[in-house]
Amino acid sequence: MKFSIALAIAALATSLPALADRLDDIQKAGVLRVAAFDSNPPFGFLDGKTRQISGLDVDVAQAIAKKIGVKLELVPTNPANRIPLLVAGKADLVAANFTVTDERRKQVDFSLPYFASGQQFIARKGILKTPEQLAGLRVGVDKGTTQEIHLREKYPQTTLVAYDDTPLAFTALRNGNVQAISQDGSKLVALLAQAPDKQKYELAPFTLTREYQAIGVPKGETRLVSLVNDTLKELEKSGSAKTIYERWFGPDTKQPLPRDFKIGDQS
């Protein structure tokens, strides 16, 4: 039954006229629509004062729109709909803390990575010092993240509980539902700093992976990919990439982190 429905839909879809080049469409419309997170500080979140989505991803998206010479329109997204938005043509690009994996490369094209992070843990004090101790622990993760995938594949002894977002996962940790939570190190620093009972928890002293975040582009849009890559390289060359990074991770921010990755370090 599943296949007959899928095939029926497929037949309908292939009968549609082929799409023109996406970059031409963007230029014609005068608007670049970028899917960005609205609930993932500091990459994409709702600014308390301006009530607009802002963050590191948004700054990068802004630079791309400027390069094309069109207006930027942000489409709020979450992990459950960022690919459908792209595929259904409701967004042209995804700039949503999008981690590159080989499996995912089969479905979308990625630009050069513009951010790198590692998978880290916040745990109750004293229980998580080495990755081996993960076995037997209950660990909270966010749904739709590569942290969940990595732990499931490499640490089958760990019990994973996936929550809808980081605040819920952290509440589960503070309630004792899980003994540790896992996220990008870049997010955990700020999270722990804000907690009223932070003396009970600590950042585990190891990093599991090195992950790269890039812009997601519909498959086969080669002109769009190279334009995005050119923009990113120029950002690095002009020093704007560093300025953007410092705005969100500089010494005066909630999550001070030294910059250890430059655009172009990884392809």
Closest distance to another protein from the beta carbon of 118 (Å): 18
149 sits near another protein (criterion: CB under 8 A): yes
Closest CA to 99 of 85, 81, 119, 84: 119
CB of 87 or CB of 135, closer to another protein: 87
Among 69, 89, 156, 256, contact with another protein (rule: CB under 8 A): 89
The DSSP letter of residue 91 is -
Among 107, 222, 238, 243, contact with another protein (rule: CB under 8 A): 107
Closest distance to another protein from the beta carbon of 233 (Å): 26
Is residue 103 within a helix (H) or strand (E), and if so which, with residue range? helix 102-105
Amino acid at 47: D
CB of 195 or CB of 257, closer to another protein: 195
Among the listed ranges 22-30, 63-71, 159-167, 229-237, the one in contact with another protein (CB under 8 A) is 159-167
Distance CA 233, CA 114 (A): 9
Task: Judge whether 150 and 103 are in contact, CB under 8 Å.
Answer: no
Task: Look at the block and give the residue holding tokens 């910059």.
Answer: 259
Backbone torsions φ then ψ of 204, nearest 5 degrees: -65, 140
Closest CA to 60 of 99, 139, 113: 113
Q: Which stretches of the chain bind another protein, using CB under 8 A?
A: 1-2, 5-6, 9-10, 12-14, 16, 38-41, 45-46, 48, 51-52, 75-81, 83-84, 87-90, 103-104, 106-108, 138, 140, 143-146, 148-149, 159, 161-168, 170-172, 175-178, 190-191, 194-196, 219-220
